[in-house]
């Protein structure tokens, strides 16, 4: 990861867990997209003793999707970007007060290097600073959305 600008796409949609979440959401026909996004985010805030990489990546992808209305550049360059933007306009991605609070808690938890396999993996790869910069970008977008 390199330093990002406001116009760079969020890397979280490109992770394996982010892609799996998107696939699951887009294949779902029960109209509960928002609930599934909330579940992915809450997995990080209610996790057991450790935070697995996949849970964190899925939560960060879910937060990215919730913030796309407020910061559309988060989707710039995403795989199948036009179809993704079109799909998002038709499903429940409202940033409700509950989702906002869960997203804030998840972003805070992700930054804590305590039983956090996501943090450990980035530390081992030498990418912890750029990864946390992306987390901060989501936190800033969340704050702006509260505007």
Question: For the whole prediction, is pTM greater than 0.85?
Answer: yes
Please, is 104 exposed, middle or buried when counting C-beta atoms within 10 Å of its C-beta (0-12, 13-18, 19+)? middle
Give the tens place of pLDDT for each residue, 27-36: 987 788 999 9
Whether the pLDDT of residue 7 is over 60: the answer is no
The pLDDT, as a whole number, for residue 5 is: 45
Instruction: Specify if 112 maps to a domain.
Output: yes
Mean pLDDT, residues 117-133 taken together: 96
Q: How confident is the model at residue 146 (pLDDT cuts 50, 70, 90)?
A: confident
Residue 116 DSSP one-character state: B
Instruction: Specify if 1 maps to a domain.
Output: no
Instruction: Specify if 103 maps to a domain.
Output: yes
Instruction: Specify if 40 maps to a domain.
Output: yes
Instruction: Specify if 3 maps to a domain.
Output: no
Mean pLDDT, residues 83-97 taken together: 93
Q: Give the domain range for residue 75.
A: 11-146
Number of folded domains in the chain?
1
The pLDDT, as a whole number, for residue 3 is: 43
């Amino acid at each position: 990861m390199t330093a990002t600008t406001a116009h760079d796409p969020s890397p979280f949609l490109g992770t394996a867990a982010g892609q799996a979440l998107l696939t699951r959401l887009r294949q779902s026909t029960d109209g509960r997209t928002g609930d599934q996004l909330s579940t992915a985010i809450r997995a990080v805030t209610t996790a057991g003793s450790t935070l697995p990489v996949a849970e964190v990546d899925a939560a960060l992808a879910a937060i990215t999707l919730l913030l796309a209305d407020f910061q559309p550049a988060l989707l710039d360059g995403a795989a199948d970007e036009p179809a993704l933007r079109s799909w998002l306009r038709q499903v429940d991605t409202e940033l409700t007060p509950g989702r906002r609070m869960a997203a804030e808690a998840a972003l805070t938890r992700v930054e804590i290097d305590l039983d956090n396999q996501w943090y450990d993996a980035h530390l081992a790869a030498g990418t912890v600073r750029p990864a946390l910069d992306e987390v901060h970008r989501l936190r800033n977008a969340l704050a702006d959305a509260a505007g």
